Structure formats: C-alpha cells, structure tokens
C-alpha cells in the first residue's frame, strides 16, 4: 500500500510541473541587470526562509525537529551571504538595498500562521523547499542560457544540495509524525495552501514583473 507521504509527494510533483507552463518566452539575449534583479529577489526569499524557521523554533516541541530548524536557519543565512558576496563580486553596490523594506511577503505570512509541526513542516520543508528546488532549476537554466555560468554554478553546487536536505527533512518528519488521519489532513491542507499561493505568486510575477525564472530559497 502506498504511503501517505509518497502520495503527497506525487501530488506536490504534479502541481510543481505546472510551473513549467508559467514561464517567460524563450531566453535570448539577457542584460546583466536581469540576473541582478532576480538575485535581489533571492536575497529577500533567503532572509524570510531563515526567519520563519527561527520563528518556529521556540514553539516546536520535538527536539530533533527543533534542531533541524536551527540548521535551516543557518543554511538560509549562509545562502544569503553567498548571494550577497556574489553580487558584490559582480560589482553590485548593496549598501542601500534592504530586502525587508516592503515587509514580509505573502508566503511568509501564510507560513507564520501554521501552528502544528506537521502543518509547518508539510508547508515549508516538504512543499516550499520542493518549490525552491524547482525555481532554482529554472533560474539555473536562465543563467546558463544567458551565459552567466558563475551564477548557475553557485546555485547548482552550493545552494541546491542544502535545499535537497530540507526537502528530505520534510519527508522524514511527516513519515514520523503525520501518523493519524487528523494529522495527515492538517499536513495535506497546509501543502495545498502553499501550492495554491505559489501558483498565484508566479502568475503575479510573470504578469507584473515579467519574471518567472526567479530563484527560490
């Protein structure tokens, strides 16, 4: 019999595949400013991902989950610094850039409302981090097509391995703790809420900012 987590993973994969339909036209000549614009979006995403994991730590009862969240706080902060350093190497002046200037984004606000471990981990590590893997793959594709192999390598070699670990954490926690019909329903509803919002955000970015190949967190 297929497990609840395997069924949920298949559902997430099917939904994320639809994001390939929400993409900009074929990538041609790309100005460097487009890479920079996307990397600044990434800085905001990384900061919020670090903050949400930190926010959940004090109210997470399971010690191994609490410590895993601590690792993720560090991972996302590390990603922020790597991207920041990369932008500075590209000659971008970030002294006046404040990734939190416009307040928290809708994904952070959604995640902050979840109260139970299975909701939180199902929504963030299991789903949002799977989304991040997908978005980062799209961004790597964008960078390679634009000839920016250094930025593509940064994501492929240094950021994606951590995202894989975050997703695996989500699977492990759900397999252990989503062990009743009620908890499984909580987890699934959280997963569905994140995916619904992610598709809305991608549509909005594509329509208003003409951005689809933007990295995740």
Task: Give the pTM.
Answer: 0.93
Q: What pLDDT is recorded for position 127?
A: 97
DSSP for 134-197, written as a single string: HHHHHHHHHHHHHT-HHHHHHIIIIIHHHHHHHHHHHHHHHHHH--SHHHHHHHHHHHHHHHHH
Q: What pLDDT is recorded for position 27?
A: 60
Q: What pLDDT is recorded for position 73?
A: 98
Q: Which fold has domain 4-12+31-208?
A: Ferritin (1.20.1260)
User: Per the structure block, which two tokens stand in for 195?
Assistant: 């995916």
- How does pLDDT run along the chain (217 residues), one tens digit per residue? 469 999 999 999 999 887 765 566 556 667 788 899 999 999 999 999 999 999 999 999 999 999 999 999 999 999 999 999 999 999 999 999 999 999 999 999 999 999 999 999 999 999 999 999 999 998 998 899 889 999 999 999 999 999 999 999 999 999 999 999 999 999 999 999 999 999 888 888 877 777 767 787 7
User: What DSSP designation does 126 have?
Assistant: I
Domain ranges in the chain? 4-12+31-208
For residue 59, the tally of other CB atoms under 10 A from its CB is 11
Q: What pLDDT is recorded for position 1?
A: 43
Q: What pLDDT is recorded for position 28?
A: 60
Can you tell me whether residue 94 is helix, strand or coil? coil
């Amino acid at each position: 019999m297929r497990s609840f987590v395997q069924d949920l993973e298949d559902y997430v994969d099917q939904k994320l595949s639809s994001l390939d339909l929400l993409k900009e036209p074929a990538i041609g000549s790309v100005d460097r400013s487009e890479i920079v614009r996307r990397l600044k979006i990434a800085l905001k995403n990384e900061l919020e991902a670090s903050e949400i994991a930190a926010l959940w730590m004090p109210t997470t009862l399971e010690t191994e989950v609490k410590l895993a969240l601590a690792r993720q706080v560090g991972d996302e902060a590390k990603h922020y610094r790597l991207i920041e350093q990369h932008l500075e190497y590209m000659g971008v002046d970030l002294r006046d850039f404040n990734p939190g200037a416009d307040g928290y984004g809708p994904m952070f606000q959604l995640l902050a409302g979840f109260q139970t471990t299975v909701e939180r981990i199902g929504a963030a590590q299991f789903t949002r981090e799977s989304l991040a893997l997908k978005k980062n793959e799209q961004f790597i594709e964008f960078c390679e097509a634009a000839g920016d192999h250094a930025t593509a390598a940064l994501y492929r070699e240094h950021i994606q391995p951590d995202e894989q670990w975050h997703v695996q954490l989500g699977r492990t926690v759900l397999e252990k703790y989503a062990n009743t019909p009620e908890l499984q329903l909580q987890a699934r509803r959280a997963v569905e809420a994140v995916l619904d919002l992610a598709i809305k955000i991608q549509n909005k970015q594509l329509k208003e900012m003409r951005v689809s190949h933007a990295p995740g967190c």
